[in-house]
Every structure is written in C-alpha cells, then in structure tokens.
Amino acid sequence: MRFIHVTCFDDWRAEARALLSNEISPADVHWSPEDNQPGLFDQPHQKKTGETAQDERPNASVQDTQSRFTVPSPFLELARQVACHRSPTRWQLLYQTLWRLVHGERRLLEMTTDDDVLLLQRMRKAVTRDVHKMKAFVRFRKIETDDQSESYIAWHRPDHFIMRLAAPFFQRRFKGMSWTILTSHESAHWDQHQLTYGPGLPASEAPNADALEGLWKTYYASIFNPARIKVDMMKREMPVRHWPTLPEATLIDDLIRDAPARVTEMIKNHEGFSETGMHYLPAQQDLESLRQAVVGCQACDLCHDATQSVFGVGPEDARMVLVGEQPGEREDIAGEPFVGPAGELLNASLRDAGIDRQAVYLTNVVKHFKFERRGKRRLHKKPDSREIYACRPWLESEIAALKPQTVICLGATAAQALLGRDFRLSQQRGHIQKTQWSEQTIATWHPAAILRMPDENRKREMVNQLVTDLKRCAEVVQ
Ligand code: URA
C-alpha cells in the first residue's frame, strides 16, 4: 500500500501521473483521508509528512517515467474542480476514475449512471455553486496599511476549497485596488500586480471594521445583472430582514428601476462580465428563467452583432431534444430556432419520420447568430471553440431542465459539443448511445449541410439517412 498526501490539484496530478506510469492500481493507493488544506502555519503547497515511512511514499518509490497514456481534457477540467471539494475521498475517487479512463473506459465520463461519474458530477456542481456564492457574497472592508495606502480585506466562509477558482474573478473585477480575501483554509492577495496565495485564517481573526461600503456598492452595481432580475429570488437569496444591514440594499431599488436601460448599456459598452454563460445563469434554472436570462448573456462577442439571443423552443416535457449549431439569419430575426430553410427541411424530415414537431424541443449549441457582412448580406460563419465553450452552460442547463430521453445532435458542431471533439459525423452518424445527456444520444446530418450538398443523389441519400435516424429514435421514445 502506498500512502500519499496531497493538498492541491497540481500535487495530485503529479502523483497520479507517477502512479499511472508505474501501473499502480487504485486499490494499492491510500490517499490521505484527513483534511490536508494548508493551515495557518503551513506554507501553501507544502506536503505534510504524516507518519508514513519514507520508503512507502510515492515520491520515493515511484518514478514518473515517460507517460504512456493520454488523459481526456474534459476529465482534467472536471478533476481541477472536484479537487476543490471538501470531501476527503476526492483524491481516491479522482485516481480511480483516471485509472478507469486510461484502462479501456475512455468514454467513462459519458456514463452518467456510473456511480463514480455521478459522484464526480455532484461534487463539481457543489464546487461551482460555492464559487458563485463567493462571487456574490464576498464583502470587502477598508483597512489602513502602514504606508497609509488603501487596502481592502474580506472574510468569507466557503463550503469548499475554492479560493483559487474564485480569486481570478476578483482580480479582474478589482484590478486597480489592493485586496486580500481570507478564508479558513487559504487566503488570496492582489497587490495590483500579482495574485498570490497564502495560508488561511480562522474566523476569529477576521476583520470587523466597517468602512468598505463605497467599494462594495460599486462592486455590487457592477455585478448586478439587470437581465436576470428576479425580485423573489433576491428575497430568497438575501432575505429582506437582512437588507437594512447590507450596504448594497440601498442600491436595489435604483438598480431594479434602471434595469432595462442598463441591459442596453451593457451590450453597447461590451462590458464582459465573465468568460462563459455560467455567470449569467439564473438562480432558478427552469426553462422560462433560462429563456429570460439568456437575453442578457455577453459571455462572448457574438451578442454584440446579433439581433437577439435565440433560445430553444418546445414543450417542457419534451422527451426528444434536437440540437443544431446556431441560429441562422432568419432565426436571428424571428428569435426562434429552425424557422428558415434548414427548419423547413427539418420539419419535412420529422414529418416523414412520424414525429410531431410540436412535441420536440429544438435548440442550438450557440444562442447568437454569427455572420460576416458582405454588402447587405449577412453570411453564416461557423462558431469557434471559444464561442461554443462560452455558450455551453445554456445548453447544459436546457438539457438538465428537460431531462430528455433522446438528444439528437444535428451536424458536427452539436455532435462535437455533446459527444466529444473526436466525434466524426461521417463515421459515427446514426450510432445511438447512452450518454450523460440522455438514454439515447445520436448524431445525424444537419439539414443545412444537406441543403448545401451540390450532388443531388448524395443530397437524397442524406435526407433518407436523416429520416431513418430520426425514425429510429422515435421508435424508442414511443
Ligand atoms: N441552423 C441551425 O443550426 N440552427 C437553427 O436554428 C437554424 C439553422
């Protein structure tokens, strides 16, 4: 048995790589179960020595030989977040999953019914939610420093070890000020040049001076997203009885009143609030709340030139979801997906497959029309990976709200977004599989690609294949 202590993702990754290179099975590794986050007197990243004999430690006994395996990048992204979860079992779970991924279960993460995957997804969700809460509830206070310069300090009590996930957000937002955020496990410090991390501080040491209302009000007004005002939700998240004691509460009336004007201003000023749509998601993620919130999304630049966001349409209890690439010119104007020529072909194909269009939910990977101007014309342009990534939280939330039995990816963009970047439509079209999105997920031709096909015979063949794929899905759904 090998005993390993790690305190952060980078340490875990280095250890896991060494273990894997040496084919050490998860059953032979004991990841330290105690809370290893750095304490007040630890150096960050310093490994605790514990009571393990020197020769049992992987650093001593396992050589990190040349890696012979590749790790899917979605796993690394997931692992980076799960590593911030408070659970002492996270390192073991991550290594076990990594082991399975490189030992023949490469598509493991798509198996949402798998116990390990389910647990990892739950942990990731808890961490993400905690990061959101930190962004929303950190309150800075002004402190006097020795050199009379201004500095700000905040104490926050997250549920998980999320400082490093959240701190870059505060760095961007408060670039021109020096600040420190303290939590019990770690602190972050920004001196207007560099972001550094230090040990945590017990709650008893948290500052209680009360001089930071000005900054906080500025901050609150800047994160207040008028496109997602939900007064009921605000009351729930920030109970009214606390409003008198919160500096920002005096702003709420003004902000609510000015909201529509601010949406327009935000769009005009290119105020980028975050890197993905995640920051714009409403607290309640039913379809109607999502539809209202997406209007204010500026997670990528497409929102500036498109007429409007185009969210999905269809009944909330739809069992089948069809995902296209992005709205086209007609959809951009109408504000509804698949109302143009591609939509007509899709309607005909659904009909031929015996599927009622009114019973299915239609949406796109990207919610804004991307185009290039040629004179008066606006020519469709493929969304790039940054735009797809930025928009992903909307699609994921739609699917999570619908819980469909079938997800049909129309075309390569949707297929690669939901089934992985390696997905090849020409080779894997029509193959039904169970994924994290639905019991049966399938990719087939995009009607717009069929319309662009110059060879008439091939075009007919593609239409037939589209109808056949739809039909097969429909048979299982009914
Ligand atoms: N193409 C798409 O991918 N989606 C639409 O909504 C319209 C055309």
Across 13-27, 257-271, 338-352, 405-419, least confident range? 257-271
Nearest to 422 by CA among 78, 73, 114: 73
The pLDDT value recorded for residue 65 is 45
Distances (CA, A) of 149 to 118, 216, 394: 49, 18, 42
Ligand 1 centroid, distance to 448 Cα (angstroms): 8
- Ligand 1: which of 310, 330, 418, 446 to mutate, judged by most atoms within 8 Å of the beta carbon? 446
Given this structure, which CATH class describes domain 277-477?
alpha beta
For residue 381, pLDDT over 90 is answered with yes
Find the mean pLDDT for residues 437-455: 96
The pLDDT value recorded for residue 274 is 39
Helices (H), 314-430: 329-334, 341-352, 385-402, 412-419, 425-428
- Mean of all residue pLDDT scores within the chain: 81
Domain ranges of the chain: 2-132, 138-205, 212-269, 277-477
Instruction: Give the confidence band of 259 by pLDDT, cuts at 50, 70, 90.
Output: low
Find the mean pLDDT for residues 121-142: 85
Distances (CA, A) of 303 to 202, 374, 410: 43, 19, 23
Instruction: Give the confidence band of 48 by pLDDT, cuts at 50, 70, 90.
Output: very low
Pocket residues: Cβ below 6 A from ligand 1:
324-328, 331, 337-338, 340, 342-343, 364, 448
Element (H, E) at 76: helix 73-82
* Cα-based angle 64, 66, 70 (whole degrees, multiple of 5): 105
- Ligand 1: which of 321, 322, 326, 339 to mutate, judged by most atoms within 8 Å of the beta carbon? 326
For the full predicted model, state whether its pTM sits above 0.95: no
pLDDT digits 0-9 by tens, 61-118 = 334 345 567 888 889 999 999 999 988 889 999 999 999 999 989 899 988 788 999 9
What are residue 324's phi and psi, to 5 degrees?
A: -95, -165
